[in-house]
């Protein structure tokens, strides 16, 4: 059973930084596409960033470009989201997700219905 476990959330002031981690276990496929999503109270879940484990393809939502960086460790089992220059509007529950096939095989990277596996979420709160 594939498990995704997030960590690294917390409370920071505007302008601060946090790094989220998502460790994937029991994932039998050699390649996967990993995404970070977030959901604020009363809002729809939205894609924040995505990365293909095969290398070279990274995606960001316009709202986080230039501030957030997604990356994978060398073993391709842990995905990170470095969040800098945080804003109060970044406050949300952040989720890690995984899908076997890359977006160019079908479905946009930010389409959460295309992801098979999800973590439990980690809360990020940014105060002004």
Give the CA angle between residues 4, 46, 52 to the nearest 5°.
50
Expressed in percent and rounded to 5, the helix, strand and coil fractions of the chain are 5, 50, 45
* Rg, C-alpha atoms of the chain: 14
> Which residue shows structure tokens 């999800």?
118
What number is the average pLDDT over the span 99-107?
89
Tell me the per-residue pLDDT of 56-73, one tens digit each, with 9 for 90 and over. 799 999 999 999 999 999
pLDDT greater than 70 at residue 28: no
Q: Give residue 76's pLDDT.
A: 84
């Amino acid at each position: 059973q594939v498990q995704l476990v997030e960590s690294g959330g917390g409370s920071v002031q505007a302008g601060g930084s946090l790094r989220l981690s998502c460790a994937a276990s029991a994932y039998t496929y050699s390649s996967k596409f990993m995404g970070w999503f977030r959901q604020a109270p009363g809002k729809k879940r939205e894609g924040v960033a995505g990365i293909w484990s095969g290398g070279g393809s990274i995606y960001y939502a316009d709202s986080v470009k230039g501030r957030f960086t997604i990356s994978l460790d060398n073993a391709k089992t842990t995905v990170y989201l470095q969040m800098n220059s945080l804003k109060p509007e970044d406050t949300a529950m952040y989720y890690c997700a995984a899908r076997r096939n890359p977006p160019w095989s079908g479905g946009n990277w930010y389409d959460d219905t295309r992801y098979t596996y999800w973590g439990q979420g980690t809360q990020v709160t940014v105060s002004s």
